[in-house]
Structure 1
Amino acid sequence: MKAAHLRIYTINKGYIDSWIKMFHEELVPIMENAGMKVESTWLNIEKSQFIWIRSYGESFENYDKMTTSYKGSEWWKNNVNRVKDHIAHMEVIDITST
């Protein structure tokens, strides 16, 4: 079994291109360094929502440790406000593989 989050982010108008660039070039490497895996990324047809799946290995028990590592990184500390400036709303759903 794989533990993951289905994440749906509504991105502020005019920010989708910079969000996609920052996500893939800057955020993904930081998450991977923390042990997280970005499984896939999608955009809705209107290009207002960024939908993605991030996994944490075999158990959600790994989530806290990985998140502490990710959010404790120097990059996150220096850029958290820039990340939040892009996101209008977040929905996070716990999912597991079958």
Structure 2
Amino acid sequence: MKTIQLRRYTLVDGEYDAFVDWWKGSMPRVRPAAGFTIEFAYGIPETNEFVWAVSAEGDEEAFVALEQEYLASDARAEVFAGVPQRVAEYNIRFVSEFATTA
């Protein structure tokens, strides 16, 4: 069993490229090292939106516990050190995965 969290951001005007560059250089390194899997990441430059999903093994309670460890980690603090606030709005929710058929 895995739990998936969908993370939808509206970025600060003018910060899209800087955010994407920072994200690509940071998240694929620190999130997996903390026990997460990045399921996907997509950006919509025209609307300053960035959407990605991260998962972890276990239920929501296990995900939350793992995320608390990650949020308190030195590795996370390092990648956020000196980074200006580039996200104007966060929409973060757990989602259900449905089987698809071809």
TM-score range, shorter chain: 0.7 to 0.9
Match of 1:65 in 2: 65
TM-score, normalisation: structure 1: 0.82
Greater radius of gyration (CA):
2
TM-score, normalisation: structure 2: 0.80
What amino acid maps onto 1:40 in structure 2?
A: F
81 and 66 in structure 1: CA distance in 2 versus 1, 3 angstrom threshold: farther
81 and 9 in structure 1: CA distance in 2 versus 1, 3 angstrom threshold: farther
The RMSD of aligned alpha carbons is 2.0
45 and 86 in structure 1: CA distance in 2 versus 1, 3 angstrom threshold: closer
Match of 1:22 in 2: 22
The answer to whether the 8 A contact 1:5-1:93 is kept is yes
Which runs of 5 or more residues in structure 1 are unaligned? none
1:1-98 to 2 correspondences below 5 Å: 1-44=1-44, 46-78=46-78, 79=80, 82=83, 85-98=85-98
User: What is the deviation of 1:97?
Assistant: 1.7
Structure 1, 67-76 or 47-56: larger mean CA deviation: 67-76
80 and 94 in structure 1: CA distance in 2 versus 1, 3 angstrom threshold: farther
The answer to whether the 8 A contact 2:2-2:56 is kept is yes
State how many pairs are aligned.
97
SS at match of 1:97: coil
What amino acid maps onto 1:64 in structure 2?
A: V
Which runs of 5 or more residues in structure 2 are unaligned? none
